[in-house]
């Protein structure tokens, strides 16, 4: 488990999203943030009704995931969010800490850019903003950078098996999302709500 951004292996969002989803056995909820985060979630397993896709607004994956986690304390919940999007909604980290949401894990895909709007640099690239350090300073003790794929797997296992809240930071490469989610928010809302009615 790594505290600094030094020497982090640059990983691939699509591959790691697949690894996450493939390891879920108990109807865990996964909330994908706008753009690449939910496109690669769709690509990982679009048949999964416990996935929810945030199609419009940056920064809402973690707040939505927090709401699901608070409403369903027996279900493990993951939020997948880009660094630019999380930086737009930083207050959610303090709220997650203050609420002590123990069944929630936020995974941050840090490519250092706002990729789908043209690749402009985020503060993670342009001014050294360290999102994991911000999470810790917000009161989330279980916040760490994944140094490589093996550490990522270990951190996901920790999020599945121990009380959080957890934040996992991942430095990723510049590969855009491999597919695009259907633009059908009403269908997603309804199938997700039905899936959440089944016990975890
Ligand atoms: C509140 C809000 N502001 C701006 C946008 C336009 N927008 C959509 S995606 C995006 C960049 C997202 O960057 P990041 O979360 O880092 O993900 P990446 O595209 O790098 O995977 C922007 C600026 C938006 N959808 N919502």
pLDDT confidence of 57, banded at 50, 70, 90? very high
pLDDT over threshold 90, residue 5:
no
Average pLDDT score, the chain? 97
Give the Å distances, CA to CA, from 135 to 27, 92, 120, 167, 179.
26, 10, 23, 7, 30
How many other C-beta atoms can be found within 10 angstroms of the C-beta atom of residue 52? 26
Please report the pLDDT score of residue 66 as a whole number: 98
Ligand 1 atom nearest 116 alpha carbon: 19
Please report the pLDDT score of residue 95 as a whole number: 98
Please report the pLDDT score of residue 39 as a whole number: 98
Cα 82 to averaged position of ligand 1 atoms, centre (Å) = 8
> Residue 32: which H helix or E strand, with range?
strand 29-32
Q: Which of 85, 125, 171 to mutate to test the pocket of ligand 1 (most atoms within 8 A of CB)?
A: 85
Cα 104 to averaged position of ligand 1 atoms, centre (Å) = 22
pLDDT over threshold 90, residue 7:
no
Q: Whose CA is nearest to atom 11 of ligand 1?
A: 114
Q: Whose CA is nearest to atom 25 of ligand 1?
A: 57
User: CB within 8 A of 121, min separation 6: which ones?
Assistant: 112, 113, 114
Distance of alpha carbon 103 from alpha carbon 96, whole angstroms: 11
pLDDT over threshold 90, residue 2:
no
Please report the pLDDT score of residue 1 as a whole number: 63
When pLDDT is averaged across residues 63-86 and rounded to a whole number, the result is: 98
pLDDT over threshold 90, residue 48:
yes
Q: Whose CA is nearest to atom 12 of ligand 1?
A: 114
pLDDT over threshold 70, residue 52:
yes
Nearest to 108 by CA among 67, 53, 166, 151: 166
pLDDT over threshold 90, residue 6:
no
Percentage of the chain beyond pLDDT 70 is 100
0.75 cut: is pTM over it? yes
When pLDDT is averaged across residues 76-81 and rounded to a whole number, the result is: 98
Ligand 1 atom nearest 37 alpha carbon: 21
How many other C-beta atoms can be found within 10 angstroms of the C-beta atom of residue 56? 9
Q: Return the CA Rg of the chain.
A: 15
Using a 6 Å CB cutoff, which residues line ligand 1?
A: 34-36, 57-58, 82-85, 111, 113-117, 122
Tens digits of residue pLDDT in 97-120:
999 999 999 999 999 999 999 999
Percentage of the chain beyond pLDDT 90 is 95
Domains along the chain with CATH numbers: 13-197 (3.40.50.970)
Q: In what order do the strands lie in the sheet with 51-53?
A: 51-53, 29-32, 77-82, 104-110, 166-171, 142-145
């Amino acid at each position: 488990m790594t505290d600094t951004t030094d020497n982090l292996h640059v990983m691939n969002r699509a591959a790691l999203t697949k690894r996450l989803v493939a390891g879920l056995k108990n109807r865990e909820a996964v909330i994908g943030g706008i753009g690449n985060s939910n496109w690669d979630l769709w690509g990982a397993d679009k048949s999964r009704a416990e996935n929810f896709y945030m199609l419009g607004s940056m920064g809402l994956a973690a707040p939505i995931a927090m709401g699901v986690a608070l409403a369903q304390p027996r279900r493990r919940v993951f939020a997948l969010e880009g660094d630019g999007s999380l930086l737009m909604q930083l207050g959610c980290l303090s709220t997650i800490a203050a609420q002590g949401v123990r069944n929630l894990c936020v995974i941050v895909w840090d490519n250092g850019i706002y990729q789908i709007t043209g690749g402009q640099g985020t503060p993670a690239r342009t001014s050294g903003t360290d999102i994991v350090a911000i999470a810790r300073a917000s009161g989330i003790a279980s916040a760490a950078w994944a140094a490589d794929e093996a550490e990522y797997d270990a951190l996901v296992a920790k999020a599945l098996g121990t009380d959080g809240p957890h934040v996992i930071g991942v430095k990723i490469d510049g590969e855009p999302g491999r597919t695009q989610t259907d633009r059908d928010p009403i269908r997603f809302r309804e199938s997700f709500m039905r899936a959440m009615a089944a016990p975890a």
